[in-house]
Amino acid sequence: MGSNHITTKDGVEIFYKDWGKGQPIVFSHGWPLSSDDWDAQMNFFLAQGYRVIAHDRRGHGRSTQTDDGNDMDHYAADLAALTEALDLHDAIHVGHSTGGGEVVHYVAQYGMKRTAKIVLISAVPPVMVKSRNNPDGTPIEVFDEFRKALLANRAQFYLDIPTGPFYGFNRPGAKVSQGTIWNWWRQGMMGGSKAHYDCIKAFSETDFTDDLKKIDKPALIMHGDDDQVVPYKDSGVRSAEMLKNATLKIYPEYPHGALTTHAEVINADLLEFIRK
């Protein structure tokens, strides 16, 4: 089918790619990227005989640059609209970072009957921001700095993130890929600045605890222990404890963007989990 758009109830056009036939694997991307961030996974699983689907979240990539609805409730509803439009059943939902929150919220609220398994990679649940109930979380000031930097000079901010913490390129001896940095920047700058600004609140402050506890599908949690964006102990480890049927895989020294930097390992482990 190639690629296309669906229109949501509130008039937002959601761009998606839909390639191949077979059991569907649906990919939800991280902030502030697009479905293009899944290139290594889409091509790999297409070659393995799966139907692969990835969409651009509202306000991101080629979807409408809307100024409202940039929150997890709308993200999950948009994903539900897509799965219904494509009539997907027995789907495997894979979410990276913010996309992991989207997947958890979607499956718990809408998708239990249509979903076979879920995979969370470097994902934000159960909740990122530090609070009385989440003392090991990331201080709100970190996200305030994100907002400030985005408003001050989004283009520079979107060079600093992939050059530094996202891929671990700031670590001694890291093998830096300039193309990967530019591709992150390209994806980020395709989206809308207002949507990206709002999404910082969505990914940092949404509490997915109740969603996680509702989900009984087999789940694979993949997280690098050198994730400088979403610390694994407060996210991957805790999510695995809350899910009813989770397998936790911690990868030594892997960064937040491991699905790109270590695609071969991530893809092989994903395939093993899907085939179980």
Q: What is the DSSP string of 157-199?
A: HHHHHHHTTTTTTTSTT----HHHHHHHHHHHHHS-HHHHHHH
Record the pTM.
0.97
Q: Could you list the pLDDT tens digit for every one of the 276 residues in the chain? A: 566 999 999 999 999 999 999 999 999 999 999 999 999 999 999 999 999 999 999 999 999 999 999 999 999 999 999 999 999 999 999 999 999 999 999 999 999 999 999 999 999 999 999 999 999 999 999 999 999 999 999 999 999 999 999 999 999 999 999 999 999 999 999 999 999 999 999 999 999 999 999 999 999 999 999 999 999 999 999 999 999 999 999 999 999 999 999 999 999 999 999 999
| pLDDT value of position 116 | 98
DSSP state, residue 67: S
Partnered with residue 55 across adjacent β-strands are 16
**Residue 70: alpha-carbon gap to chain centroid:** 15
Is 97 a catalytic site residue? yes
Which of 70, 145, 83 shows the shortest CA–CA distance to 109? 83
Catalytic residue among 56, 211, 256, 269: 256
Report the distance separating Cα 56 and Cα 16, nearest Å: 6
Q: Which of 36, 227, 234, 269 is catalytic?
A: 227
**Which residues contact residue 200 at a Cβ distance below 8 angstroms, ignoring those fewer than 6 apart?**
31, 143, 146, 147, 150
CA distance between the termini of the chain: 28
Phi-psi region of 246 (alpha: psi -120 to 50; beta: other; left: phi over 0): beta
Strand partners, 92: 25, 117
In this prediction, residue 73 carries a pLDDT of 98
pLDDT of residue 1: 57
Structure tokens at 275: 């085939």
Please indicate whether residue 68 is annotated as part of the active site. no
**Domains parsed from the chain with CATH numbers:** 2-275 (3.40.50.1820)
CA nearest neighbour of 26 among 70, 84, 73:
84
Q: Is 227 a catalytic residue?
A: yes
In angstroms, the CA 24 to CA 21 distance is: 8
Sequence-distant (6+) residues with CB within 8 A of 14 are 5, 6, 7, 8, 55, 56, 57, 58, 63, 64, 78, 81, 82
> Does a cis peptide bond (omega within 30 degrees of 0) precede residue 172?
no
Among the listed residues 63, 97, 204, 235, the single catalytic one is 97
What values do phi and psi take at 120, rounded to 5?
-115, 120
Cα-based angle 34, 74, 120 (whole degrees, multiple of 5) = 55
Distance CA 219, CA 112 (A): 13
**Token reading at 183:** 């591709």
Q: What angle do CA 31, 236, 72 make, to 5 degrees?
A: 40
